[in-house]
Structure 1
């Protein structure tokens, strides 16, 4: 017997950043399917147009690398009940060649933007007395060192640490904050990093389920963390890794 989840998030508004592609796109589609009013944020107008055609969502185009643009975008989305911080970039460079500019850009998009957007959304939830939920999309890279990923791993470790502080400070207002930490997910960004079989095969060999993650599988985990089924889950980094960390 399967339950009907089409009204699970009815009456709720969710802001999804990085909604144009990959995990963010899958999450926007899934949340709409489950009854939420979706506000999709991306820096790509073409991606947003396609998403709007698919689910009739509201859209905001902004480059979250710009702190002022990130804050303005978050303010324009208010009021929201749920937030998914999914926007992220990966600049691949060897550690010894990692530039300050690429490191700063990665931290700006993957961490600072999540901070700013969550600040605005959480203030709105608190003002309205909403018992909301925030999911920051992190990565297994928060705890595992990967070659060529110095800036990316640093940013995801920082995102996990910030999430724990958010959970402690916002929890007293009834706002739950968690991260979802997938292993390699088959998104356009992942193709850039893992498209070479010489790189992907050693990683696959460490995953007991012998495959990478699909965006929808991560989206379903995000929906769980946003929903009532996880009402006592707060401050958790939830791995979606096929058993990678168990080995």
Structure 2
């Protein structure tokens, strides 16, 4: 299981509580240190997933992985007319390319063992709705949704299920970047039938469902965790 902070951290802790052997991957050693302090059974791995060669070297001998959560993401908000090449490349490298690469590494092992597995990609409602100043972020999440579907198609014959969760804003550190202003937040929550943003636990519970045997026939799904935003 691979994760970073926020939703990924909460997912790692939840899986550990259920008895899973959890490997947590992030580029920030301090995040790993605090995670291990909270749950000593979690195996920490420090690597920048945007670095293809180093990720390959670090993860190729990681051992058996049956469940994978791709949660690493970055969001640097800019108006469309001000998007820079560096921002574009960094966002796609982390939000899409790293997901493809880590999933390749893990899926090769799943296929070789013949025991199947489950992969969950953490996407966003931004994959399906245009949001001001989110041109690059929305684009990466749209790409991630389609990558999820192609992975489900090609890996399904090996009994490897691939799905995504697509939350509305969650007040993690990254969520606060875009939605901490109360007036701006109201423009979004007013369009959510439940009238609020998601809690971290709302997303974690959906991830756990998609990882579990309770979703054995669920494959290639983009699951909204958005209080009805996309439905309306």
Q: Does 1:239 align with 2:227?
A: no
Query: Distance in 2 between the 1:69 and 1:210 partners?
Result: 43
How far is 1:53 from its partner?
1.5
Look up the match of 2:94.
109
Q: Do the aligned residues in 2 keep the contact of 1:16 with 1:27 (CA within 8 Å)?
A: no
Q: Secondary structure of 2:158's match?
A: coil
CA deviations on 1:153-204 (whole Å, 9 max, x unpaired) are 0000000001101000000000000000000011001111111112111001
What number of residue pairs does the alignment pair up? 231
How far is 1:73 from its partner?
3.4
Query: Distance in 2 between the 1:200 and 1:73 partners?
Result: 40
Look up the match of 1:6.
none
Q: Does 1:45 align with 2:29?
A: yes
Structure 2 unmatched ranges of 5 or more: none
Look up the match of 1:156.
141
Q: What is the TM-score with the length of structure 2 in the denominator? A: 0.97
Look up the match of 2:50.
65
CA deviations on 1:78-108 (whole Å, 9 max, x unpaired) are 3211100000000110001001110011000
Q: Does 1:16 align with 2:2?
A: yes
Query: Distance in 1 between the 2:53 and 2:18 partners?
Result: 32
Q: Do the aligned residues in 2 keep the contact of 1:78 with 1:121 (CA within 8 Å)?
A: no
CA deviations on 1:42-86 (whole Å, 9 max, x unpaired) are 111111011112122001001112111232333242321110000
Query: Distance in 2 between the 1:76 and 1:139 partners?
Result: 31
Query: Distance in 2 between the 1:78 and 1:167 partners?
Result: 23
Q: Secondary structure of 1:103's match?
A: helix
What root-mean-square deviation, in Å, do the aligned CA atoms of Structure 1 and Structure 2 show? 1.0
Structure 1 unmatched ranges of 5 or more: 1-14
Equivalent residue for 2:122, pick from 134, 137, 149: 137
Moved over 3 A (4+): none
Moved more, 83-92 or 211-220: 211-220
Q: What is the TM-score with the length of structure 1 in the denominator? A: 0.91
